Structure 1
């Protein structure tokens, strides 16, 4: 590869994922969120909650995920513990919604600047 003024200018392969001033606390929080999404069932659950009309979904309306109800509950707890979703009990049923600001934070983390 030629060097000097005749060398072709090489563009970086991709823009950085985030700004270099990400705090250690923000990094830890984001790592926990992305770690929670490291399971396909949790990604599917998060997607169903995030895309449901009205901004929330009853656990009874999540549909068949190919796993048992106790397993669904376990995965929803993991999403809740990671701060990705919130829940509210109404009588017999529990309703889930994406936690405020989560999609924006995650989008900022992975979008090009």
Structure 2
């Protein structure tokens, strides 16, 4: 059983933060993963263009894009009446970097095989 000053307890708290990360929750939806893949392939795109590559209606696609944007994974811009989305590469990388650093710390502290 872990003691009160056991360094593993602090790492477990960090693990909780990683596993409850809004980014992981957002990426748990397959449609959102597909949208990210399409944006990586197409670059900056509007809702109609992205919806043309998916079986979902454009209103559903728009809602998923908003969730990705609110999580910081997409940038949004508006030109006249069109809304465009693109990947926020820096935020995407930083989110996963923080998760990876925590996992590396967990492996180190628990003395797991890396």
Give the TM-score normalised by the residue count of structure 1: 0.62
* Match for residue 78 of structure 1 among 57, 64, 67: 67
- 1:69-112 per-residue CA deviation (whole Å, 9 max, x = no partner) reads 11011111111111111111111211111124123224423489
**Structure 1 unaligned spans of 5+:** 1-19
* Match for residue 57 of structure 1 among 34, 42, 45: 45
**Structure 2 unaligned spans of 5+:** 1-10, 105-114
Runs of 4+ in 1 over 6 A off after TM superposition: none
| Alignment partners' CA distance in 2, 1:60 and 1:68 | 9
Q: Which structure's residues are more often helix, by fraction?
A: 2
Give the TM-score normalised by the residue count of structure 2: 0.62
- Say which one has the larger Rg: 1
Q: Kindly indicate whether structure 1 or structure 2 has the higher relative contact order, using CA contacts under 8 Å at least 6 residues apart.
A: 1
Report how many aligned residue pairs link the two structures: 88
| Alignment partners' CA distance in 2, 1:78 and 1:35 | 10
